[in-house]
Amino acid sequence: MPWIRNTTYAFFTLLLLPLPFVVGDLLSGVRSYYNRLYEPLVNLVSRHLLGTGEIIRYADSGSGDGLYNWLYFLTLILMAAVAGGLITAIWKDRPRRSGWPRWILCFLAFALSYYLLIYGFAKLFRLQFVRPPLMALYETYGRSSPMHLLWTFMGYSRPYVIFTGLVEVLAGVLLLPRRTRTAGALLTLGIMVHVLMLNLSYDVPVKLFSAQLILYALVIIWQDRARLWQFMANRPIAAGSLRGPLRSNRGNAVLSAAKYVSVAVLTLLTVGASVAVMKGFRGQSPLYGVYEVTEMYANDRLIPPLVTDTRHWRRIIFDRPRYAAVTHLDNTIQHYTCDIDTMRQHLQLLHPGTGELYMALHYEATEQGLKLTGRTTYETVTIQTKTVDLAGFGINRGLHWVNEVPYNRYQY
């Protein structure tokens, strides 16, 4: 039906516009401003169609499954249905014979390629699924959210993250030339169905977006459905049309070059910006390791290791640069910003929210671990520690080609 076809064209046009401002996080400010333009329409749908009776505002919270996001897509569908009706009444079925469908395919491949490339390079450059912090060695499954559990087990295996990143980059590259666009879409479909199942199974709030990328891939595959069926039926396959959205070959060549350059520039800028942001989280602390507290003194008096005494530490963990975590005997955890002066062997623990000084310490390496001496705002402290052997944790076992018995256990 022309109306359904024109509505589909209108929906994908609304969904893609205004490229590249709604693509990725590089221009998130512009994207946020654009999304806020839809707030009156979203609230109109929310109040009069769904009867929510509340003002729904766009919030760039990191979640793509907010109420606004779902209502935004519903609003686009309704707008596309109205636009499709008007287009059908004015032009009938002429849009199908125009360059409009080819432009949609071109921009779908552009957006899909960009997303696959930035997610792929994010994995290769250790921007997504980074190694779990040392604190994760003491976390329990029961206190971990499903999403945190997913991020932990994905970050544990660097080879698996590299593999998934390479596959995503390959799919992104294949989507750019018209000759390999369908192959790239088929590979993307397999990748994104897996991603969607992970998002659904581990309650990751990117379910709507991953489903959107699957839809993009399905549309690209659909336009080549006849040839794909011939291939699966083991029949001769004619060469597909490589016609671009423009009428002239020169114009299509310029458009292809512009597409390659745009995707490359946007990908490089996005990944570069992410690397700069993550720079402070990468690397290791000069005191990297886990240190169990054996004795703790306050004002030269031994603090008994009582669970009720909130002053007594169980352990201190130095992991990433400018980061430290202290666990107490009641298993509560305090995270601190840590400034370490390796020349003077001094360190400061600062409250991350306020920057207020919690403890200033001098550290000294001993045969067992570290000796920390210093003061808080109201007392002097001395802390004796011993270094924890990280190789003793079962999760650090590594790869074994030969296994006589399954090594499937929890180390108590």
Is the pTM higher than 0.85? The answer reads: yes
What's the pLDDT score for residue 19?
A: 66
Give the model's pLDDT for residue 117. 93
SS (H, E, C) 335-354: EEEEEEECCCCEEEEECCCC
The pLDDT, as a whole number, for residue 286 is 92
Burial class (CB in 10 A: 0-12, 13-18, 19+), 104: buried
Q: Spell out the domains of the chain, with CATH numbers in brackets.
A: 2-281 (no CATH), 289-389 (2.40.128.270)
CA distance 66 to 77: 17
SS (H, E, C) the chain: CHHHHHHHHHHHHHHHCCCCCCCCCCCHHHHHHHHHCCHHHHHHHHHHCCCCCCCCCCCCCCCCCCHHHHHHHHHHHHHHHHHHHHHHHHHCCHHHHCCHHHHHHHHHHHHHHHHHHHHHHHHHCCCCCCCCCHHHHHCCCCCCCHHHHHHHHHHHCHHHHHHHHHHHHHHHHHCCCCCCHHHHHHHHHHHHHHHHHHHHHCCCCCHHHHHHHHHHHHHHHHCCHHHHHHHHCCCCCCCCCCCCCCCCHHHHHHHHHHHHHHHHHHHHHHHHHHHHHHHHHCCCCCCCEEEEEEEEEECCEECCCCCCCCCCEEEEEECCCCCEEEEECCCCEEEEEEEEECCCCEEEEECCCCCCEEEEEEEEECCCCEEEEEECCCCEEEEEEEECCHHHCHHHCCCCCCCCCCCCCCCC
pLDDT for position 88: 87
Amino acid 341: pLDDT:
92
Please tell me the distance from the alpha carbon of residue 80 to that of residue 86, in angstroms, as a whole number.
Answer: 10
- Token pair belonging to 318: 């130095």
pLDDT, residue 91, reads 83
Q: What is the pLDDT of residue 54?
A: 74
pLDDT at 116: 94
DSSP β-bridge partners for residue 385: 293
Mean pLDDT, consecutive 10-residue stretches, the chain (412 aa), reads: 88 81 56 79 87 76 85 93 91 81 91 92 89 87 90 92 96 93 96 96 94 96 91 85 79 85 84 74 87 93 87 92 90 90 93 88 92 90 93 81 84 64
What's the pLDDT at 38? 85
